[in-house]
Structure 1
Amino acid sequence: MNSKKLYVVIVAFFMLHQVQAQASFKPGLRGGFSFSTISEMHADYKTDFYVGGFGEINITKRYALQPEITYTRQGSNNVARNYFDDIAGIEKVEHRDLQIDYLSLALINKFTFGPGIQIQFGPALDVLLHDNLIKRKQCNDLAFVTGIAYKVSPNLTIEGRLKKGFLDVLDSGYYHNDRNDDYLFGDYNTNVNFQLGLSYSFGEKK
């Protein structure tokens, strides 16, 4: 091994040792209110809840990686369905409240600035548990989570997040209205979910 390779190995060893010395693990719980809708449906937001657990892996003083598992109730209220009534011979409109329950698996990056202010973001996989949709396009969903948080104490944090789905979850051939099918994205109906709540981490384990 030449001197350059030896130098690289030594530097890498000390960097790894430094990270291990600073890293810590803290499990915790999170929960709060969920405000969701389905895009391009011109429907009302559905208010519900989310609850779950996480493991905060503090890599440095300013950065942590946080795997999460969350039960979240999403959907959209007052979704219009235009259809032709064969018996009456006329067009009719009915409105339904749609519910989609997911088990969300997320990997969140957390950066801390100043006195406890955090920027959070990362990917999520939403696994379908239950829904009342008559027609759907996708069971599961892929999403991106972003948000801001404030650490009230070393253990308690207030969080506000946006989770935006990427997959088309709704069959617009069944759920539709006269305003959502006259533009490019009228048939692209994705989950939009806002979360406002608290997270609490337990005693630190090194």
Structure 2
Amino acid sequence: MKKIILSAIAIMVFTFSNAQETRFGVKGGLNLTNFAGGWDTTIKAGFHIGGFAEIKVIERMAIQPELLFSTQGARYSMDGGNNGGYYKLNYISVPVLAKFYVTKQFTVEGGPQIGFLVSAKNEGRDIKDEYESTDLGFNFGAGYNFTDNLAIGLRYTLGLSDVLNKDYYNDYDNVRNSVLALNLSYKF
């Protein structure tokens, strides 16, 4: 799997090396996450942080690969009461977005994402084996550029793959990650 990812990154770098302009940046922000599908859970707050490259393809279009550390998961309650806890899932996420500049300030974006599970915990107990090691999703969002360097963005990631390992949870189908992310980014 690592060879495939490294090969894909090398191909992207080679393919876009003749692009008009490439800028690098850092970003971070708030995640509001939950499980979509068969589990009765509620929103859990988390964060994401990482870097990106914005590779201009044409004047109003760019490709933006990112490498992010993202905390995800969900809250749950026991027996409908106030007792409960958190599923805390940490991922290394690699979205590759097509970014369109509607105006110089306003952008819209969309594209696929693969996430690699780093850790999974429930009230301090390691539950990583109970979850799939990779997570596929699709992102769509919008952004606003305050300056040439500083921007804010809002993105929704729709999980496309089941996050539960069927060896542990064969009674649940189609439980997917659902992430709403608000971020602040800075381009160099």
- TM-score of the superposition, structure 2-length normalised? 0.78
Measured at CA, do residues 193 and 80 of structure 1 come closer, stay the same or move farther in structure 2, by a change above 3 Å? farther
Residues 81, 174 of structure 1: 8 Å contact kept: no
Give the partner amino acid of 1:28. Answer: G
Give yes or no for contact 2:117–2:132 (8 Å, CA) kept in 1.
no
Matched position secondary structure for 1:59: strand
Q: In the superposition, relative to structure 1, how do residues 105 and 27 fare at CA in structure 2: closer, same or farther (>3 Å)? A: same
| Correspondent of 2:91 among 85, 97, 102 | 102
Gaps (5+ residues) in structure 1?
1-19, 83-93, 176-180
Structure number with larger C-alpha Rg: 1
Aligned to 2:173: 187
Mapped partners of 2:29, 2:137: distance in 1: 19
CA contact (8 A) 2:30 2:47 kept: yes
Instruction: Report what 2:27 is aligned to.
Output: 30
Please say if residues 43 and 80 of structure 1, whose CA atoms lie closer than 8 Å, have aligned partners that are also in contact. no
The amino acid that maps onto 1:130 is S
Structure 1 residue 153 and structure 2 residue 147: aligned? Answer: yes
Aligned residue for 1:44, secondary structure, equals: coil
CA distance in 2, matches of 1:141, 1:171: 11
Cα 1:37–1:132, aligned 2, differ >3 Å: closer, same or farther? same
2:118 aligns with 129
Partner residue of 1:119?
108
Which residue is 1:48 aligned to? 46
Q: Choose which of 65, 68, 72 in structure 1 pairs with 2:66.
A: 68
Q: How many residues align?
A: 164
2:145 corresponds to 1:197: no
CA distance in structure 2 between the partners assigned to 1:190 and 1:136 by the alignment: 14
Task: Give 1:15's aligned residue.
Answer: none
Percent of matched pairs sharing the same residue: 30
Q: Which residue of 1 aligns with 2:4?
A: none
Amino acid at match of 2:71: R
Q: Deviations over 1:167-204 (max 9, x none)?
A: 111268977xxxxx8xxxx62100000100111100xx
- Return the alpha-carbon distance in structure 1 between the equivalents of residues 99 and 77 of structure 2: 35
CA distance in 1, matches of 2:181, 2:32: 6
What is the CA distance between 1:111 and its match in structure 2? 0.1
Residue identity in the other structure for 1:158: I
Instruction: Indicate conservation of the 8 Å contact 2:29/2:47, yes or no.
Output: yes
CA contact (8 A) 1:138 1:167 kept: no
The letter of the residue matching 2:40 is H
Work out the CA distance in 2 between the residues paired with 1:174 and 1:157: 42
